[in-house]
A and B are shown apart, each in its own frame.
Chain A
Amino acid sequence: MDIHSISITLGLSLKVAAWATALNLLLGVGVGFLLARGRFPGRALLDTVLTLPMVMPPTVLGYYLLVVFGRQGALGGWLQSQFGINLIFTWQGAVIAAALVAFPLVFKPARAAFEAVDGQLEQAARVLGISECGIFFRVTLPLAWRGILAGLLLGFARAMGEFGATLMVAGSIPGQTQTLSIAIYEAVQAGQDDSANTLVWLTSLVCILVLLAAGRLAPGRIAHQHAQ
């Protein structure tokens, strides 16, 4: 693989992982908050079901996605007939696969972060007359954001490395859905060890950088943070 192809593949991996993480930011934070604060029957069950993508083999997830979003699938058929959209073999499909696989890594830390926020602070804000939305953005979120961000970074790293589900749903189209992980797989299969080595080093480097950033967000004294 030449520099040009490698940069395209890297760019694609970053694009897919970024979009998947953005999607998980909205869904993961929302679900994390719901599970942290909500009191409804079946809450524990919902948490378990939403954690499943973390323990299920990615190929199983890929299969489910293919069945649901494929042309003959329930959602896929509807998308095709209503909007003319088909997610299979597209980078958007790769985003969905990566987002699904990384979702538990985002919502679980988000839930823990929200649960760690002192409820009494929210009570204080209530008595001071601030609306529930105001409390979320002014008290809850600022106090929980570090934990949420750490989860997002883990989710990003996972999305970067996603392979099994992506391969089934998005295929391996150079420039469109051939992410770094898939390119490595094919290079190894074809005996192109040099290409494989380069790609492996590159992917490892990106993941290490992401994890280092996540590590710096370990919860510390807020005063310490302000003092700098």
Chain B
Amino acid sequence: MTISHEDALMQLDIDIDTTLHSGKRSFRLRMQFASDSRRIVILGPSGAGKSLTLKAIAGLMTPASGHIRLAGRTLFDAAAGINLTPQQRNVAYLFQDYALFPHLTVRQNVGFGLVRGWRNPGLDQPHAAVDYWLQQFDLQHLAQQFPDQISGGQRQRTALARALAARPGALLLDEPFAALDRALRVTLRRELDQLQCRLALPMILITHDPDDAIWFGGHVLKLCDGRLDEAELDAVKDQR
């Protein structure tokens, strides 16, 4: 497929420095890198600061200093006093345990971001986009079920559908395969790979499993104890 001019620009430019305190211990995160790749993988052991980085990009955590720019938009700039709220950032976040709304059906979950205002989407409210995404992830038959009535893999798909239905500019995935068994993991890796190709949507994935990095490819960064591994910073931009 040809890469159009707009497609080529992912432009994640992140440079943040922040310290978190919990009790007597503190953790310092210093992230600094730029990438034009549409697939970025942040690899590192647990406690390295991967989730924190992702949350900073989504706006769920405000760093002490630095800036974050994505696709030409400045999401955060401490010096200039810019800090877009999560609502304004137009990114999608896939939480590690999916964060599906337990009081809403699969259908209502998927359509959640499409309805502004103070009322949730109705149980049977017809919506073309919701139907489309339910179909894309093979969830039509589960539309009226509640999150605790469906399996782990189905929950992940619902979370993905919910994230993508809102038409985000980028997709952030927090250890998307960690809670799944081996077979499911293989299946979903392939699905995610195909999804990214088809949608050409920039994705940033964090994981502790090197296999995920190999499979997903793209720009792989190694994060350890709040700092990027210097030697790996010149990674090859490998887009499959």
Contact = CB atoms under 8 A, between A and B. Distances in A.
What are the 10 A-B residue pairs with the smallest beta carbon separation, nearest first?
A: A128-B113, A124-B99, A126-B86, A137-B118, A127-B93, A223-B148, A127-B86, A120-B99, A129-B87, A138-B120
Contacts of A143: 102-103
B112 A128 contact: yes
A118 B101 CA distance: 10
B40 interface: no
A125 B118 contact: no
A197 interface: no
Interface in B110-146: 112-113, 116-120, 146
23 contacts: A120-B97, A121-B101, A121-B102, A124-B93, A124-B99, A125-B112, A126-B59, A126-B86, A127-B60, A127-B86, A127-B91, A129-B87, A130-B87, A130-B112, A130-B116, A133-B118, A137-B119, A138-B119, A142-B103, A222-B146, A222-B148, A223-B102, A226-B146
Contacts of A130: 87, 112-113, 116
B58 A223 contact: no
Contacts of B146: 222-223, 226
A134 B118 contact: yes
Interface residues of A, number: 23
Given A127-B92, A134-B116, A221-B148, 18 more contacts: A118-B99, A121-B99, A126-B59, A127-B89, A127-B91, A127-B93, A129-B87, A129-B116, A129-B166, A131-B116, A137-B118, A138-B112, A142-B120, A143-B102, A143-B103, A222-B103, A222-B148, A223-B149
B67 interface: no
Contacts of B59: 126-127
Given A134-B116, A223-B149, A128 B162 contact: yes
Given A128-B162, A138-B118, A222 B102 contact: yes
Contacts of A67: none
A142 B101 CA distance: 10
B85 interface: yes
Interface residues of B, number: 30
Contacts of B103: 142-143, 222
Interface string B27-59: 000000000000000000000000000000011
Interface of B: 58-60, 85-87, 89-93, 95, 97, 99, 101-103, 112-113, 116-120, 146, 148-149, 162-163, 166
Contacts of B116: 129-131, 134
Interface of A: 118, 120-121, 123-131, 133-134, 137-139, 142-143, 221-223, 226
B95 A126 contact: no
Most buried by B among A121, A123, A127, A142: A127
A123 B162 contact: no
A223 B119 CA distance: 21
B85 A123 contact: no
Contacts of B102: 121, 143, 222-223
B28 to A, nearest CB: 22
Contacts of B86: 123, 126-127
Contacts of B101: 121, 124-125, 139
Contacts of A125: 101, 112
Nearest to A128: B113
Nearest to B147: A223
Contacts of A226: 146
A137 B113 CA distance: 14
A131 B148 CA distance: 26
B40 to A, nearest CB: 18
A7 B99 CA distance: 51
B121 to A, nearest CB: 9
A124 B147 CA distance: 15
Contacts of A129: 87, 90, 113, 116, 166
A125 B60 CA distance: 11
B168 to A, nearest CB: 9
A126 B90 CA distance: 10
B148 A120 contact: no
